[in-house]
Chains A and B, each alone.
Chain A
């Protein structure tokens, strides 16, 4: 190790205080905990259940689409399958995935605090999430909902005969868990930083979550009032969005996308934060253009609020609005591009080691590139008319939501697994799982770009026979993807019970969570309150390739 200022501390000796996992063993000590780390674990457990449900629904959809005719389900059931898949995956997996688990666990530790600013509100947010989640489960038990996750009126508010109001209220309630999480993160990052932890010494994971918390705070209340109003219209027949009552259904779409486009950034920004941490660690370098990457998170959060109209080019909104939204959508791609270029530049002449988190991060960069660039196709006023509501859109947003957000989630879970559990997973199956997931993912969604370009509409139960080859490829890919995820989950599950004990800093990474906290951390996070004296990612120069494990 270098004898210069920059050193990597191997982390504290095992503390004599109990770790957060052993500090209390009763059920009550978990269900009434105010420890951000335990709340993160509660979220992780619940989110994993919803992820499995959403994934199973996806497999059923793809199983149906093996053949051009409806063999397995009738059309009504098919409508419910893709609706529930969307609602479960977006509101109950993607939105809380990284923030509520990794964010909750890591933000206080990374900034040198003992907890988030409002620990009780943090616990409350989990109960709110569980309440919304139970309502969603109730929707499934009562026979589902068939409006598509977008809940567009007048179908949702007037004509659908399924459990729309309950679904809307499930989304409404769950939104408040997101608001409470965002509130906590924002205040925590402002007020709880350790001495010396200045804004520009913050890890990029923190910057990403700060930007995310702004979107959560400003966007989520709007979707809440939107779906509430729609549900009131449906239940009391009052006439707000229904055109036969003089209402404007396009107004609903404006309000819906005012949240739901920025919501994409709630799903992807935390993932970008994870990728920054992973790339810095496994290239042993400070992230190139740190300040640009940090500011680009804020740029995405802000510009992301004024591009929603790109979902509505075919609704008949004004042409001038179309043009402005199109230009702004091109502009919002710039900060994402800045991040991608900077990550790539970070790897240049770095000591790159291909551990599992880095494999996921590399996959992320390739898939996000495709997901992001195809987004520009959709932003184009002319081309969008051709690909609107086709499988091209489905492929595009799955490259962002799954190829990017889920891959980042898996990268983060593997990266911080030793910190969270105090154990190591086996590297072989983890890497193998990552590669299977990567292959399965591309096999599933790349053919959908072609299908969409050829004109196959999304949400259709039947399709012409000439598209069967591409659909079979896609369905086979989905099964492969499912198998890869199952394998990775089993590997991680096995490591939780039987993995080898991890040291405090198994990757020899920079950062308070690695250098100052044990694995797993004690309840108060640190034996001694940390004082920060260096910038983030201060890796020693010319370190021989990663000396971890």
Chain B
């Protein structure tokens, strides 16, 4: 066995320290799943904070949840689910031996959905800024908008919005990283690295993308919908 990385058909390279492509593939997969486990623990800390404070301050949670824009959040959920679909189709294209043009096409669509999510999210953040729902010191200003909305619960509502911004912000950060990696993946796709026999890089990136989507699937009901449900009859906007 040569010590140098050697090319195999289709452009996928076997790194110098692996015996064969199968070992390389299994390592990449295990590594990716383990990485996602660390991501779960990372977001898990925030979900813990969410649960603890929701139990401590249920009224504030309900009131604050009402202030979120369910329409924008809902549309964004749909956008992300679509992006997961196009991502899966990109992988399936590689898997079934589809050429690089259809691969890049699906990836470009995924990129489009990802960007759309961030644009909508930006508008949502902007709305919160305009309504004075930024959880800084001004939030608890007695003459401010938040004090008028939340009354005695304003301090606790601020914790909700702190967690809202940290959780969705961290999620958005993962989206931005994903979009950065998307360009790299498209470049590899263009070079013809991903074939039916080996499409490791594309598959690993897909796992990451789906993971980030799933985080949102948890964030959306916990942040946007729980309050709406708790109001009882006719609680929908």
Contact = CB atoms under 8 A, between A and B. Distances in A.
Interface string B147-183: 0000000011011011101100000000000000000
B16 interface: yes
Contacts of A117: 17, 27, 31
B135 interface: yes
Given A119-B17, A239-B159, A192 B27 contact: yes
A222 B41 CA distance: 6
A229 B170 CA distance: 11
A229 B38 contact: no
A240 B49 contact: yes
Contacts of B31: 117-118, 183, 187
A386 interface: no
A529 B136 CA distance: 60
B159 A245 contact: yes
Contacts of B44: 221-222, 225
B123 interface: no
Contacts of B39: 221
Given A187-B30, A239-B135, A224 B42 contact: yes
A314 to B, nearest CB: 20
A247 interface: yes
Contact of A221 (B42, B49, B163): B42
Contacts of A201: none
Given A229-B166, A233-B162, A239-B135, A183 B155 contact: no
A229 B46 contact: yes
A116 B16 CA distance: 11
Given A226-B45, A251-B49, 18 more contacts: A115-B17, A116-B17, A117-B17, A118-B27, A183-B34, A191-B23, A192-B17, A192-B27, A218-B41, A221-B44, A225-B42, A225-B45, A236-B136, A238-B158, A239-B135, A240-B159, A240-B162, A246-B57
Nearest to A176: B38
A69 interface: no
A218 B17 contact: no
Interface string A190-222: 111000000000000000000000000111111
Most buried by B among A224, A226, A239, A240: A239
Contacts of A225: 42-46
B158 A246 contact: yes
Nearest to A245: B155
A237 B48 CA distance: 20
B129 interface: no
Nearest to A113: B17
A217 B38 contact: yes
A524 interface: yes
B184 interface: no
A239 B158 CA distance: 7
A226 B52 CA distance: 14
B155 A229 contact: no
Interface in B1-59: 1, 3, 15-17, 23, 26-27, 30-31, 34-35, 37-39, 41-46, 48-49, 52-53, 56-57
